[in-house]
Amino acid sequence: MKPEDTSNLIAAIGTVISVVSAGVAIWAFRSSRKTAKEQAALQARLTAIEEERRGEEVEARRHAQVTASIPGVRNGPGQLVLTNEGPAVARSVTVAISSADEAKPPAVFGLERLPGRPLAGQPMSFDLVASWGDATLINALVRLGR
């Protein structure tokens, strides 16, 4: 082989390697752009899902409705029943018992289990003991947390 043929062969091999390298670089650049676009689209979908979940949570709080009742009026032991009558989970339910007149309110046991999270339609029962001289009318203030 003549020296100029060898140098032409080396130049041709160098050119091929340069073209292949440029092709790989272009492919890598396009691939990274495609991956970046896919990641951005995925992040946008995740953000939309999270915002929808937050909206549902806010809406659910609006629809939880917890009521207090004392089934059966009598002296002695009874039950204070908190029932979630709304369609959503009630979050951080608390209750405060007070007398509607000047007499002392009946004793309610088990309130340390609060705050609670009753599901839709789920009752929470607490033992209530009324004795002679206790208020016959009581106020039960039920609060839902956020």
Tokens of 107: 């004793």
Asked whether 81 and 125 are in contact (CB, 8 A), the reply is: yes
Q: Find the mean pLDDT for residues 42-62.
A: 84
Instruction: Give the per-residue pLDDT at 85.
Output: 84
In this prediction, residue 58 has a pLDDT band, given cuts at 50, 70 and 90, of confident
Query: The tokens of 64 are what?
Result: 């939880």
Q: How large is the average pLDDT for residues 69-75? A: 73
Domain boundaries defined on the chain? 1-63, 64-143
Q: Which residues contact 76 (CB under 8 A, 6 or more apart)?
A: 129, 130, 131
Q: What is the pLDDT of residue 76?
A: 63
Reported as a pLDDT band with limits 50, 70 and 90, residue 74 is: low
Task: Give the burial string for 11-24 (b: 16+ CB within 10 Å, else e).
Answer: eeeeeeeeeeeeee
pLDDT value, residue 17: 92
